[in-house]
Homo-oligomer: A and B are copies of this chain.
Amino acid sequence: MARVLTPRADDFPRWYQDVIAKAELADNGPVRGTMVIRPTGYAIWERMVDEMDARIKAAGSQNAYFPLFIPESYLRREAEHVEGFSPELAVVTHGGGKQLSEPVVVRPTSETVIGEFMAKWVSSYRDLPLLLNQWANVVRWELRPRIFLRTSEFLWQEGHTAHATEADARAYARRILHDVYEDFMVNVLAMPVIVGRKTARERFAGATNTYTLEGMMGDGKALQMGTSHELGTNFAKAFDIEYSSKEGGRELCWTTSWGSSTRMLGGMIMCHGDDNGLRVPPQAAAVQAVVTVVKDGDQVIATATKLRDALSDAGVRVILDDRVDTPFGRRAVDAELKGYPVRVEVGPRDLATGNVTLVTRYDGVKQPLPLDQAVDAVTNALRATQENLLTEARTRREENTAEVSTVDEAIEASTAGWARLPWSAVGVEGENKANAQGVTVRCL
């Protein structure tokens, strides 16, 4: 079989681009840095959104929608915030055929506009906590775009909450971190993320504390998969988000924000993909199983169709591939590229003896099995695949994380993976030194 993808060991970034193109996940958009998410990629994103959204709602947040356009003046109100974002902004200067009197910014994030409305909606302690989330597109101009990882426009969810006390805000930022993000990443994406805090230097603009979840990719590098921030009273001061307490005094709210984006798609690809393409964890897969008609023959398509229906009735997200006028080999390669966890091949020769062939994408193993055991075999294979992908990623992370005790050792170890060492051995000075070598302190 001819190689469709650049091997990961040869050139990991190139492999990543190849997978995205060949699995038909996405294309570059016409405006530099933007992307077109194709149906195969978008269907996985929809699965992610469904799973995340259910967890966000279970944590008590409600969805809302705030405008794409933000007055430029809003961003200036929180000084650190504007500094953090100004080089990345897209600015609308013309609307409705005329120059605008005040330019508007395309949201890079919505802290400011949501802060403005929180101030209107919160008046008493009874209105707290106010727990909001939105699913939206945001724009941050990217000079070195890479699909899903760094794009000028991306899709995300951003949560914004207001609380009566610092302790409440901290507890909620952590609840989202663990019950929403970590739970989703570990149990749906099968990614054993490391969860911790960022150093002061790596914090979000305007945050007093930033929590992060870091995943290890197939090349041993780290990818930030999501963040949850305590914003202290910084935004409350800038936007007058105040409440009257039980005792009748006026108090500032403590706010949080937290976000995760289509970048998670990039993380999932780079964590689990192999030299044959994607390996999508079954919990995240829009297509968990494909029933492939090898070639036409007596009762073959009818049997495959019945099997598809039986799998669907058993709760499997399944499609039928009966495009028998396309060569079987090409369809098999396509299914591997797209990373469907399980393939059931139905062909006239096997069927004559009452068998079909089960192919698990995770390890490439093919096994014949009686048709009437196929539904059980598929559901078992899906469960095993989900577990195995997580175990494999955890093993890689452990093998590629060196326990060290000095910054110099950490810098050396980082050429091959991660290094773990006590923060007391690093400090701000050690962080400076590591940064100078292109090594960042990812997570405390």
Interface residue ranges, A against B (CB under 8 Å)? 27, 29-31, 34-39, 42-43, 45-46, 62-71, 74, 86-97, 103-104, 106, 113, 116-117, 120, 132, 136-137, 139, 141-143, 152-153, 155
If A43-B63, A64-B37 touch, whether A30 touches B71 (CB-CB below 8 Å) is: yes
**Cα A253 to Cα B87 with chains together (Å):** 42
Query: Which chain B residue shows the least CB distance to A116?
Result: B30
The answer to whether B42 touches A63, judged by C-beta atoms less than 8 angstroms apart, is yes
Determine if B91 and A106 form an interchain contact, defined as CB atoms under 8 angstroms apart.
no
Collect the chain B residues with CB atoms within 8 Å of residue A34's CB: 67-69
- With A and B bound together, what is the CA distance between A255 and B141 in angstroms? 33
Closest B residue by C-beta to A29: B67
For A97, the chain B residues whose CB sits under 8 A away are 86-87, 89, 141
In the bound complex, what is the Cα–Cα distance between A171 and B132 (angstroms)? Answer: 42
Cα A176 to Cα B317 with chains together (Å): 24
Could you tell me if B66 and A29 are in contact, using CB atoms closer than 8 angstroms?
Answer: yes
Which residue in B64, B103, B104 is a CB contact (below 8 Å) of A39?
A: B64
- The answer to whether A64 touches B92, judged by C-beta atoms less than 8 angstroms apart, is no
Q: Tell me the nearest residue of chain B to A93, going by C-beta.
A: B93
- In the complex, are the beta carbons of B132 and A39 less than 8 A apart? yes
Given contact pairs A39-B62, A42-B64, A113 touches B29 in the complex (Cβ within 8 A): yes
- Per the bound structure, the CA–CA distance linking A27 and B119 in Å amounts to 13
B92 contacts A106, C-beta separation under 8 Å: yes
Check A29 against B90 for contact (C-beta < 8 Å).
no
Residue of A29, A74, A87, A103 ringed by the most chain B CB atoms within 10 A = A29
Give Cα A152 to B96, complex, Å. Answer: 9
In the complex where A42-B65, A66-B36 touch, is A90 in contact with B86 (Cβ < 8 A)?
Answer: no
Q: Report how far A69 CA is from B30 CA in the complex, Å.
A: 8
| Complex CA distance for A62 and B43, rounded to whole angstroms | 8
With beta carbons under 8 angstroms apart, the residue of B27, B62, B92, B116 that contacts A92 is: B92
Alpha-carbon distance between A30 and B77 when the two chains are bound, in angstroms: 15
Max chain B Cβ within 10 angstroms of own Cβ: one of A43, A88, A95: A95
Docked complex Cα distance between A106 and B106 (Å): 10
Contact status A46-B63, CB under 8 Å: yes
A-B contact pairs, 24 of them (CB 8 A): A27-B117, A30-B116, A34-B67, A35-B67, A36-B65, A39-B63, A42-B62, A42-B63, A42-B65, A67-B153, A69-B90, A69-B152, A86-B97, A88-B96, A89-B96, A90-B92, A90-B96, A92-B92, A92-B93, A92-B106, A93-B94, A97-B141, A136-B137, A137-B137
* A68 near B36: Cβ-Cβ < 8 Å: no
Q: Would you give the shortest CB distance from A112 to chain B, in whole angstroms?
A: 9
* Contact of B64 with A38 in the complex, beta carbons under 8 Å: yes
Residue of B nearest to A61 (CB): B39
| Inter-chain contact B96/A93, CB cutoff 8 Å | no
Do the beta carbons of A91 and B94 come within 8 Å of each other?
yes
Q: Given contacts A67-B153, A93-B94, could you give 14 more A-B pairs where the C-beta distance is less than 8 Å?
A: A27-B117, A31-B67, A31-B104, A35-B67, A36-B64, A36-B66, A42-B65, A45-B65, A68-B137, A87-B96, A91-B95, A92-B93, A94-B103, A95-B141
Which listed residue, B69, B93, B96, B103, touches A29 by the CB 8 Å rule?
B69
Residue of B nearest to A66 (CB): B36
Q: Which residues of B contact A153 (CB under 8 A)?
A: 67-69
